[in-house]
Amino acid sequence: MSATVTAHARFIVAEIDPRLYGSFIEHLGRAVYTGIYEPGHPTARPDGMRGDVIDLVRELDVPVVRYPGGNYVSAFNWEDSVGPKELRPTRLDLAWHTTENNEVGLHEFADWCDAVGADMMYAVNLGSRGLDAARNVLEYANHPGGSTYSDLRIKNGRKEPFNIKLWCLGNEMDGPWQIGHKTADEYGRVAHETAKALRAFDKSLELVVCGSSNAKMPTYPEWEATVLDHTYDEVDYISLHMYFNNKAGDTPRYLAESLKLDDYITSVAGVIDYTKAKKRSERNVYISFDEWNVWYHSNEQDRTILEGNDGWPSAPPLLEDIYNFEDVLQVGLILNTFIRRSNVVKIACLAQLVNVIAPIMTVPGGPAWRQTIFYPFLFASRHGRGKALDLAVDSPSYQVEGIGAVPGLDVAAVHAEADGVVSFFIVNRTAEPISTSIALEGFGKTARIIDHQVMTSADLKAVNSATTPGAIEPKPGSDVTVAGTTLTATFAAYSYQMIRVRV
Ligand code: AHR
């Protein structure tokens, strides 16, 4: 099989917002406790945060982390998470049927964000609470001082405001599983009024309103149309979520699912445009894809806890998917889709970051290790910043019922102009090698490979573990040839590759 790719310096999709490589930490399972926070761990800092995890998160160069939920936020009292630790209440978390002692809260998480070099994206509770709690936590977090809540923050040890710029107006409010679930009209009204109040405090905040939890929701896409009708002129982003699974054990279909992701983005972008025209609005609203990942490996083992048959455990292992090699390809395909749609998707959050459907796993008292999916995220996050290129790709394809023609070769490219580097992210989603020529046009007269990383595995189901953390790892590639500004390579069956070219 063979394919051709053409990249032209002037065919540009958009300047990528670095927050396309965001992530998410929820008070869920072991994400916080024995994940990012484990006092007494050999690498723990004085504040109890694990140094080994901080190092791995820094390696991923995550610019923004969504917090504190997720489903968790919809019955969360922000006041529980501040003040002297010994006075913080222990609560039952209705979303995950666990007990939360609030040992880690807003201040501790903000310090952790500073340590990993990320901004916080903070979600307010529009489920069991509403506008009043939202405006109060904003005053607590961002006002310099001289008011009840800002002075409380100062009393709690933090003089300078946290200056959180990005705020989520609730989480998945279309989902019947959500505490305080609402209809689109109910939610749209609350979100509008909350956004108005937050903006009255600070016009420069960036606000994210909830879109659909997934494209299979019966209310999708009417939900987006109704919610945006209420909120268009007050919000900056509409959030979308999507999780992928191969429960059917059908690899070609699994690896075609990113085309559905692309359709989902197209449809919601259409609803945004429709609403903008309807409102004669001058402003643009973009997509914040603030939860995405593969999620299914742990479903069975989580059943007992989630059905409430295990009491109310504290920080039990939950959603601890162990990712295989096939998931490397899926994560690469998802990231490629976001790069290609970066004109409309400005923020995306890999859900989640540590232990809970995560690229980073920890052993309590023991090591932290990289899951297979760590690597495609690492490469895109570190090298997928700059201008997303609008590539012409001619690839052989295969048919999937209900999806259509699926290109065997999936490619995204980013031009980091200041560095003079074009990075290609390539997935061969087929069982055959694909010989490919990549033409670089308009970049100059020479091209030199500065990095080529390859991920392949004879066993699509191979995984990493605490004892075999390097079973699936990228290896340097050496088989790309360059003639002038054309690259030629044969991309192995079921492979993920990154090629960086100095132009
Ligand atoms: O990321 C896990 C959960 O998935 C989140 O809490 C929720 O928003 C979504 O359903």
Pick the residue whose CA is nearest to atom 8 on ligand 1.
70
pLDDT digits (tens, 9 = 90+) for 367-377: 999 999 999 99
| 445 — pLDDT class (breaks 50, 70, 90) | very high
Output the CA 26–ligand 1 centroid distance in Å: 8
Which residue out of 241, 290, 356 has the highest number of ligand 1 atoms within 8 Å of its CB and is therefore the one to mutate? Answer: 241
pLDDT digits (tens, 9 = 90+) for 285-332: 999 999 999 999 999 999 999 999 999 999 999 999 999 999 999 999
Report in angstroms the alpha-carbon separations of 182 from 186, 193, 268, 287: 6, 15, 20, 21
Q: How many CB atoms within 10 Å of residue 300? A: 8
CATH T-level fold of 17-383: TIM Barrel (3.20.20)
Quick check: helix, strand or coil at residue 466? coil
Q: Which atom of ligand 1 is nearest to the CA of 24?
A: 1
Q: Which residues are CB-contacts of 14 (< 8 A; sequence separation ≥ 6)?
A: 342, 343, 387, 388
Q: Please check whether residue 37 is in contact with residue 52, taking contact to mean a CB–CB distance below 8 angstroms.
A: no
Distance CA 234, CA 208 (A): 10
pLDDT digits (tens, 9 = 90+) for 461-477: 999 999 999 999 999 99
Counting residues of the chain whose pLDDT is more than 90, the rounded percentage is 100
| 23 — pLDDT class (breaks 50, 70, 90) | very high
Is the CB of residue 291 below 6 angstroms from any atom belonging to ligand 1? Answer: yes
Was domain 3-8+389-502 assigned CATH 2.60.120.10? no
**Domain limits, the chain:** 3-8+389-502, 17-383
Is the CB of residue 70 below 6 angstroms from any atom belonging to ligand 1? Answer: yes
Longest dimension (CA), the chain: 68
Helical (H) or strand (E) element with 340: helix 325-340
Q: Give the relative orientation of helices 222-231 and 258-278 as an angle to the nearest 10 degrees.
A: 40
Beta bridge partners of 451: 500
Taking each continuous run of H as one helix and of E as one strand, the counts in the chain are 11, 26
What is the pLDDT, as a whole number, of residue 68?
98
What is the pLDDT, as a whole number, of residue 183?
98
pLDDT digits (tens, 9 = 90+) for 429-444: 999 999 999 999 999 9
Tokens at residue 102, please? 């609030």
| 258 — pLDDT class (breaks 50, 70, 90) | very high
Quick check: helix, strand or coil at residue 178? coil
Distance CA 117, CA 121 (A): 13
What is the pLDDT, as a whole number, of residue 366?
98
Pick the residue whose CA is nearest to atom 1 on ligand 1.
351
What is the pLDDT, as a whole number, of residue 82?
98
Q: Please check whether residue 240 is in contact with residue 265, taking contact to mean a CB–CB distance below 8 angstroms.
A: yes
Beta bridge partners of 424: 413, 499
What is the pLDDT, as a whole number, of residue 463?
98
pLDDT digits (tens, 9 = 90+) for 84-121: 999 999 999 999 999 999 999 999 999 999 999 999 99
Distance CA 464, CA 470 (A): 6
What is the pLDDT, as a whole number, of residue 434?
98
pLDDT digits (tens, 9 = 90+) for 124-161: 999 999 999 999 999 999 999 999 999 999 999 999 99
Question: Which residue from 110, 106, 131, 132 is spatially nearest to 119, judged by alpha carbons?
Answer: 110
pLDDT digits (tens, 9 = 90+) for 222-248: 999 999 999 999 999 999 999 999 999
What is the average pLDDT across 263-278?
98
Rg of the chain taking only CA atoms, in angstroms: 23
Of the candidates 100, 172, 206, 326, the residue annotated as catalytic is: 172
pLDDT digits (tens, 9 = 90+) for 158-205: 999 999 999 999 999 999 999 999 999 999 999 999 999 999 999 999
Query: Any catalytic annotation for residue 108?
Result: no
User: What does the chain come to in residues?
Assistant: 503
Of the candidates 26, 234, 291, 326, the residue annotated as catalytic is: 291
* Topology agreement, domain 3-8+389-502 and domain 17-383: no
Pick the residue whose CA is nearest to atom 5 on ligand 1.
70
Sign (positive or negative) of CA dihedral 82, 58, 471, 299:
positive
**What rounded mean pLDDT belongs to the chain?**
98
Sign (positive or negative) of CA dihedral 412, 417, 418, 419:
positive
What is the pLDDT, as a whole number, of residue 453?
98
Q: Please check whether residue 332 is in contact with residue 359, taking contact to mean a CB–CB distance below 8 angstroms.
A: no
pTM score = 0.98
Pick the residue whose CA is nearest to atom 7 on ligand 1.
70
Residue where the block lists tokens 């307010």: 124
Is the CB of residue 69 below 6 angstroms from any atom belonging to ligand 1? Answer: yes
Residue where the block lists tokens 């939920």: 69
Output the CA 458–ligand 1 centroid distance in Å: 32
Question: Which residue from 200, 195, 196, 139 is spatially nearest to 170, judged by alpha carbons?
Answer: 195
